[in-house]
Structure 1
Amino acid sequence: MRLGREAAAFAVLLLALAAPARADRASVVASAYSGLSLSAPSASFMTVCHGFGCQYRVELGLTSADHATMRRLMAAGSGSAAKERAAVAAVGAWFDKRVAPLAGTKGHVARANRDYMFDKGQFDCIDTSRNITSLLLVLDELGLFKYHRVAEPEARGHIIDFTAPHATAVLVEKDSGVKWSVDAWTRAYGQAPEVMPLERWRQLD
């Protein structure tokens, strides 16, 4: 059942919030994918989630041309942490367009709610937080981060008290330790993910 899958994924995320902060790739992989039985991404392959709660999945092979595009876009961020985050957002917009022909998501809307949950051409935040985390891990494997590392996805809200639950991919700035949300769920097709301090993201509805 789709709602059950989505609720279970949120439960895994909310439990992760209570755990001590960890930084290594293995812990990110365990947090992001184990609850959904997904394989970890690599520089040549990832599983893309769509249709709410990762109900639908498509295999994306990453080519040398894809790597070249990611390197070119990330090169614009070489001057500072802020520029690197802007470059990540640009890669996110490219990635959305790259995935759409395979997943059938060219018409996806921003902030897709439960009205869309039977539409496999849409993303909920479980889909986008996993997909963007996969993208960030690929960028990391390609050695394209100078100022950031990838952290576990995080969540806000609680199913049991009916506040809206929401999940996001996360980067951590190496020098300051500040966490940054990289949230594609709030954006429509082809738009760059929203990047903001995680503490600010936590305060949003």
Structure 2
Amino acid sequence: MSYPTPQLFYSSLLSIGLLIPLNLQAAITDITRIYKQTPTLKAFEICTGGGCAEIKQTSLADDEWKTITAIFENSNQHIDAQLERQHIADAIGMLEKIIGAKTATSTDRAGTFDNSKYPGQLDCNDEAINSTTYMRLMQQHGLIKLHQIEDMRTRSFFLFGWPHSTAVMHELATGERYAVDSWFYDNGYPATIVPFAVWKSGYFPADSPILKGRSDVK
């Protein structure tokens, strides 16, 4: 299976040198390879370190994947598109917990700034790539039925503020697009899924640590 190249995303990576030191930026060829990978439970790669500066190969055991499928199956409600989005959000959070323990990224904190002294950090580019990979695994295994995964997208491009990237999907029945953003909260929290137009306008959840701040930030 092949995937289209997310040109807007790559353009944004090339333009955010002041966000990510040049010596930490992964080669675009590596990012392309990871983004276009066909992930399997036995082997897939994730990005970390900011701008996919570090690439780690990992996998999911059968019992770990059952934890993900249970999110979609353990529901007494009729599965509509809204509920499927909630399941996707919860599953991404759970996958972050599982993969975080394997790749030393379980300590990832919300946001990018003020996190450099903490280990295991991901920026929004890492998050967008990894969330896209996680959703592809879900779709391959029939868990995502009512949505289609799209290319990642970036907002702002320095015109109205700092650039910020997200995974994207659309609802099959309506065509409405949604941002799937796991950058707003610490590792293991459900991803934030909102209409793409809302996200594009500069959306931030009011309770995100990025806005609220932390008592341990010095």
Question: SS of the counterpart of 1:163?
Answer: coil
Give deviations 1:163-203, integer Å, cap 9, x for gaps. Answer: 21011001110000001111001111221111100000000
Question: SS of the counterpart of 1:176?
Answer: coil
Matches within 5 A, 1:35-50: 36-39=31-34, 40-44=37-41, 45-50=43-48
1:65 and 2:63 are equivalent in the alignment? yes
Q: CA deviation at 1:70?
A: 1.9
Counterpart of 1:79 in structure 2 is: 79
8 Å Cα contact 1:9/1:36 also seen in 2: no
Which entry has the higher C-alpha Rg, 1 or 2? 2
TM-score, with structure 1 as normaliser: 0.78
Question: SS of the counterpart of 2:150?
Answer: strand
Counterpart of 2:214 in structure 1 is: none
Structure 2 spans left out of the alignment, 5+ residues: 1-7, 15-27, 204-218
Q: CA deviation at 1:37?
A: 3.9
Give deviations 1:98-133, integer Å, cap 9, x for gaps. Answer: 1112221222211122x4357651110110000000
2:174 to 162, 173, 176: 176
8 Å Cα contact 2:9/2:154 also seen in 1: no
Question: SS of the counterpart of 2:126?
Answer: helix
Question: SS of the counterpart of 2:173?
Answer: coil
Q: Distance in 2 between matches of 1:41 and 1:112?
A: 28
Question: SS of the counterpart of 1:116?
Answer: coil
Q: Distance in 1 between matches of 2:81 and 2:187?
A: 26
Matches within 5 A, 1:92-107: 92-107=92-107
Question: SS of the counterpart of 1:152?
Answer: coil
Give deviations 1:36-65, integer Å, cap 9, x for gaps. Answer: 143414232211111100111111112222
The two structures, once aligned, show a CA RMSD in angstroms of 2.6
Higher relative contact order (CA 8 A, sep 6+): 1
Aligned residues: 179
Counterpart of 2:5 in structure 1 is: none
8 Å Cα contact 1:130/1:169 also seen in 2: yes
Identify, as 1 or 2, the structure richer in helix: 1
1:196 and 2:157 are equivalent in the alignment? no
TM-score, with structure 2 as normaliser: 0.73
8 Å Cα contact 1:182/1:194 also seen in 2: yes
8 Å Cα contact 1:151/1:171 also seen in 2: yes
